[in-house]
Amino acid sequence: MPEFQEYEGRWAPIPTQFHSLYHEGPFTRCVDCERDLLTGDCTYFIERVFRGSEPVCEMAMCMDCRGAISQELSAESSQRLQAFVEERFDMEARFEQTGEWPENDIDRWLEQCVITKQPRTQHRNYQIVGICRGDQMSLDMLPILISQTATEEMQKLLSKKTRDRLGQMIDDFFGMPPEFADNPDSYSPLLW
């Protein structure tokens, strides 16, 4: 994935779909290192998981922490995920397509799963991911929506070591939300 610290593509104020329910506004700190995210000196990811229209899990993580966690994943898992994403997600086409979309219609970016290509309305559970810097969100290839169906497919590609590490991360940061207790494979942070 490109280094977004220096990236100068399209940016717009972070839309409310990517605000924290818990903080009742923009995310302010990295979930891992607690770095201030709104100063504009770092790039970070926002990820929110929905059951229907209700957010059930959310986080913002700076690129440094995300990179460190990504390094802990097994090489086998990283290679499998990369191959899966390259096969199923045409990033170049997405970049071209989103270049035509208006900045004030963020729902356009989130209307279908980028992996399954199915509309959001066909999925009860899904997660959205965006890349931000300060109070701005990148509006090029991301933000994206990933359906639970796609997440479960990706989970099957992960080694036990990687699944265990991601499970520990979820437990450390959030505790396991009751909605996922029966099916822990229904959520995994997107670290590809």
What's at 137, amino acid-wise? M
Q: 84, 54 in Cβ contact below 8 A?
A: no
Q: What is the pLDDT of residues 105-156, one digit of tens each?
A: 899 999 999 999 999 999 999 999 999 999 999 998 899 999 999 999 998 9
Predicted confidence band of residue 3 (pLDDT cuts 50, 70, 90): very low
Q: Where along the chain do its domains lie?
A: 11-156
Q: Is the peptide bond before 143 cis (omega within 30 degrees of 0)?
A: yes
Q: What is the pLDDT of residue 1?
A: 38
Q: pLDDT: is 53 or 136 the higher one?
A: 136
Would you state the torsion angle of the CA atoms of residues 192, 76, 158, 173, taken in this order, to the nearest 10 degrees? -60
SS3 182: coil
Q: What is the pLDDT of residues 165-189, one digit of tens each?
A: 888 887 777 665 545 544 545 555 5
